[in-house]
């Protein structure tokens, strides 16, 4: 059973940085695509970043492009999301998930999910 565990969330002031992590149980192949999603209260869950290991490419939503960076450390079975220049609108519960190789934003193409880690940005 694949397990994903997010950590590193917390409270930060606007303009600050935070790095959140997603450690898998070791059953996730290094070739599996990984993505970060977030959900703010009353909002739909949205994808913010995805990493395609075969190509080494990563893609970001317009709302975080240039501020967030997704990366993976295969030795630690961990995917990271480095978040810089945080804004109050980045406040949300952040989830990591496995996604299919052809994932292009449709949440239906996701697979295993973690429980989420809360990020709160105060202005």
Query: Mapped to the 3 state alphabet, what secondary structure does 68-101 carry?
Result: EEEEEEHHHCEEEEEECCCCHHHCEEEEEEEECC
pLDDT band at 26 (very low <50, low <70, confident <90, very high): confident
Q: Using the predicted structure, report yes or no on whether residue 105 has a pLDDT greater than 90.
A: no
Whether the predicted pLDDT of 104 surpasses 90: no
Percent with pLDDT over 90 in the chain: 85
Residue of 3, 8, 1 lying closest to 118 (CA atoms): 8
* pLDDT above 90 for 116: yes
Find where tokens 């990020």 sit: 119
pLDDT band at residue 2 using 50, 70 and 90 as cut-offs: confident
Task: Return the pLDDT at 16.
Answer: 98
Q: Give CA–CA dist 21/5, Å, rounded.
A: 8
Mean pLDDT on 12-17: 98
CB 93 within 8 A of CB 121: no
Is 44 strand, coil or helix? coil
Tokens 């709160």 label which residue?
A: 120
- Report how far residue 48's alpha carbon sits from residue 101's, in angstroms, rounded to the nearest whole number: 16
Give the C-alpha separation, 94 to 106, whole Å: 17
Q: What is the pLDDT of residue 30?
A: 85
Q: Is the pLDDT of residue 13 over 90?
A: yes
């Amino acid at each position: 059973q694949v397990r994903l565990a997010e950590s590193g969330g917390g409270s930060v002031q606007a303009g600050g940085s935070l790095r959140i992590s997603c450690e898998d149980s070791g059953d996730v192949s290094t070739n599996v695509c990984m993505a970060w999603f977030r959900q703010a209260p009353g909002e739909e869950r949205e994808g913010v970043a995805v990493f395609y290991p075969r190509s080494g490419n990563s893609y970001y939503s317009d709302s975080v492009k240039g501020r967030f960076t997704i990366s993976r450390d295969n030795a630690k079975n961990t995917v990271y999301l480095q978040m810089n220049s945080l804004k109050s609108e980045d406040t949300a519960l952040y989830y990591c998930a496995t996604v299919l190789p052809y994932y292009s934003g449709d949440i239906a193409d996701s697979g295993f999910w973690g429980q989420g880690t809360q990020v709160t940005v105060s202005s």
